[in-house]
Homo-oligomer: A and B are copies of this chain.
Amino acid sequence: MPVSITREIRLDRRPVGRPQQDCFSLAEVTLAPPGPGEVEIRPILLSVDPYMRGRMDDRPSYVPPFALGAPIEGFGIAAVEAAGPDAGLAPGDLVTGMLRWRELDVLPARRLRRLERHGEPLEAHLGPLGMTGLTAYVGLTDVGGLRPGETVLVTGAAGAVGSVAGQIAKLAGCRVVGVAGGAQKVARLRELGFDQAVDYRAGDLPRALRQAAPDGVDLFFDNVGGDQLEAALSLMNVGGRVVLCGAIAQYNDEAPRPGPRNLALAIGRRLTLRGFIVGDYEARRPAFEAAMRRWLVEGRVQADSTIVEGFERLPEAFLGLFEGTNLGKMLVRVGPEPAGR
């Protein structure tokens, strides 16, 4: 078997503040054929996610930092092109897992999971049926203790996790308020069934939130942090829960910004604030998948995605997350989907 030549996107320097295009570079690499237990894969869709910003800094976290001069990696879906001995996968199989940003790659098969499709679009496996859907599901249920009849507030509500979280909360019989940036996203939230949608770019967020949730908030699913977290804390009802899922407003801060000035409210109002990482909840995947597949089939959850075309546009798509250019899940199509599947 001959060696293959492919392209990869590397992290060339660590960003200070908001990442720029010149943090990344495109390079050619040579791949050996797959050995025992390995497969050659051709990525089809690659996911860009806010948490990846953290891996660009050189500091300890729940995932190790990206190495400089090495390819970025993130979730993705690929087609198996060739399999070495004992790989347990065959050419044409669709797989998902942590993939390097390469147009072609050779990886141990055990790091990949064969993807089971039941007619849903491929991108659903990186959105509502993937990590972001599981994040919304366990964040609301396991972490947040969602109960019917509650008022639920979701920030980043037009994003990959937030839009699914809001729709699940509606299905659970809750009143749901979403916060997003811009009139288009706010309109989309209304279409998705959110009871109230607030545009944080329209100014005076605390006032707008008070009007949208006049009886306060029982469960707050926070994807944003910063000022939105502070504004929401003031609205929390006694016994309320704050699910700390993400803080995209803060990921590009060059220096740590002050936390919410009203955090001490948590004492008198008996609030629980809880951070979580979806990777801790792998055991919940079967229950989640069963529920989510049903909701998707019945059209009760709609999965928005923004698909950018072209491998070399991965950095652009990633940077767009911090400008909110995406509606729903932001993905990059880097290769063709195999026909007839």
Partner of A261, one of B230, B259, B269, B272: B259
Please give the count of copies of this chain that the complex contains. Answer: 2
From A38-46, A239-247, A301-309, the one touching the partner chain is: A239-247
Chain B hits for A256, CB < 8 A = 261-262
Q: Are A274 and B266 in contact (CB under 8 A)?
A: yes
Partner of A275, one of B245, B250, B266: B266
Q: Would you give the 0/1 interface string for A213-239, flagging 1 where the beta carbon is closer than 8 Å to chain B? A: 000000000000100001000000010
Which residue of the partner chain B has the closest CB to A268? Answer: B62
Query: Do A264 and B250 contact each other (CB < 8 Å), given the known contacts A258-B258, A258-B259?
Result: yes
Chain B CB count within 10 A is highest, among A225, A260, A271, A272, for A272
Chain B hits for A258, CB < 8 A = 258-259, 261
Q: Are B277 and A267 in contact (CB under 8 A)?
A: yes
Chain B hits for A275, CB < 8 A = 265-272
Chain B hits for A274, CB < 8 A = 266, 270-273
Task: Give A55 to B16 CA distance when docked, in angstroms.
Answer: 45
Partner of A268, one of B54, B269, B270: B54
Partner of A272, one of B263, B264, B269, B273: B273
Q: Knowing that A62-B269, A258-B259, A272-B275 touch, tell me 8 more A-B residue pairs with CB under 8 angstroms.
A: A62-B238, A244-B267, A247-B264, A256-B262, A259-B259, A260-B263, A263-B263, A268-B277
Q: List 29 A-B contacts (CB under 8 A).
A: A54-B268, A61-B268, A62-B268, A225-B264, A244-B264, A247-B267, A256-B261, A257-B261, A258-B258, A258-B259, A259-B259, A259-B261, A259-B262, A259-B263, A260-B263, A263-B263, A266-B274, A267-B275, A267-B277, A268-B277, A270-B276, A270-B277, A270-B280, A271-B274, A272-B272, A272-B273, A272-B274, A272-B275, A273-B274
A residues touching B (Cβ–Cβ < 8 Å)?
54, 61-62, 225, 230, 238, 244-247, 250, 256-277, 280
